[in-house]
Amino acid sequence: MIHFIVGHEAAKQLQGAFELDENLAGEILVLRDTLGIGPIQKTEGTTFGALRSDFWKTIDASFKEEVADQKHVLLTIARAIREEEPICLWMAPCVSDVCAYYWLLPFFKELPGMFHIININSLPFLNEKGQIFYPKNFSEVLPKEFIKTKRLLKEVSPSEFEVDGDEWKRLVEENTWVRVYEGGKKISSKPESYFDSMIVNSVAFDFVKASKVVHDVLKKNPETVADKFIEWRIREMIIAGQLAINGDASKGFKDFEIKKAGKPETDATEASEPNVEQIG
């Protein structure tokens, strides 16, 4: 079996599970792109990979590699057909994995019986301390815990192709820059400013390291979103005057500070209220 999984960290955990159970072992194709953020509607003459690569270069100036998941998927499917190998997507309850599922469905529409999933939605796992938790991403799942999930393997049925087959088309037509997971297989489209309120709620009217704000937003945020996207939004909010900065925003996020723009509401209120004694 060929295994599709989103993200290098999740793939490392899965590879560790292979070393514990050879019956689970197989080739791993890592889906590197995070489809929960960024544009997904390509224009005429542009490939999907080029669209996604340009997006990553927009939010991260240091991004150099090309996102070529589509090419790798097509090559892998072609080989799977020749070798009569089934393909399995590991799907955790997060926007990245569910979007990957919807994106992959059209590739398998004419290949009945080939596409399988392992869906861990609402299933408990044990962490390193032996405590029960509900992972949002396979990077959180210990290799030994992966092993018990193989019994969840199921073929994507014709009815699922029918019900879920148009979801990616819907998301493409909505073409927002943020998609969020709302349970089950439900994905909703949101504007690119969706995380801005979380950023504002993580700062006060005193300067704080920008890197701490990014960490706080990612920690509190129920979505699996790339830190580079939060950093990009902070820079956009600085340009828009929504955040004040102490330092150089072109440098690393540990090298400058940010705070809410303007003055605290209490100060503004006190400044606007007349002095009764002076009036008297």
The answer to whether position 165 is within a domain reads yes
In a domain, 217, yes or no: yes
Per-residue pLDDT for 265 more than 80?
no
pTM of the model: 0.90
DSSP track, the chain: -EEEEESHHHHHHHHHHHHH-TTT--EEEEE---TTBS---PPTT--HHHHHHHHHHHH-TT--S---HHHHHHHHHHHHHHHT--EEEEE-SSHHHHHHHHHHHHHHTTSTTTEEEEE-TT--EE-TTS-EE--SSGGGS-HHHHGGGGGG-EEPPHHHHHHHTTHHHHHHHH--SEEEE-STT-EEEE-TTTTHHHHHHT--SS-EEHHHHHHHHHHH-SS---HHHHHHHHHHHHHTTSEEEES-TTS-TTS-EEEESS--HHHHHHHHS--HHHH-
In this structure, the answer to whether residues 114 and 210 fall within a common structural domain is no
Q: Which domain holds residue 38?
A: 2-173
Do 157 and 41 belong together in one domain? yes
Using the predicted structure, report yes or no on whether residue 277 has a pLDDT greater than 70: no
State the CATH number of the domain containing residue 106: 3.40.1360.10
CATH number where 260 lies? 1.10.10.10
Are both 82 and 217 inside the same structural domain?
no
Q: Is 189 domain-assigned?
A: no
Based on the fold, state whether residues 22 and 112 are members of the same structural domain.
yes
Among 115, 140, 173, residue at a domain's last position: 173
Same domain, 264 and 126: no
Q: Judge if 51 and 118 occupy the same domain.
A: yes
Which of 140, 173, 206 represents a domain boundary (last residue)? 173
Residue 275, domain member (yes or no):
no
Would you say residue 146 lies in a domain?
yes
In tens, the pLDDT along 228-249 reads 999 999 999 999 999 999 999 8
pLDDT of residue 122 exceeding 60: yes
Mark whether 105 and 39 lie in a shared domain.
yes
- Domains held by the chain: number: 2
> What is the reported pLDDT for 44?
85
Residues 52 and 100 in one domain: yes
Same domain, 166 and 204: no
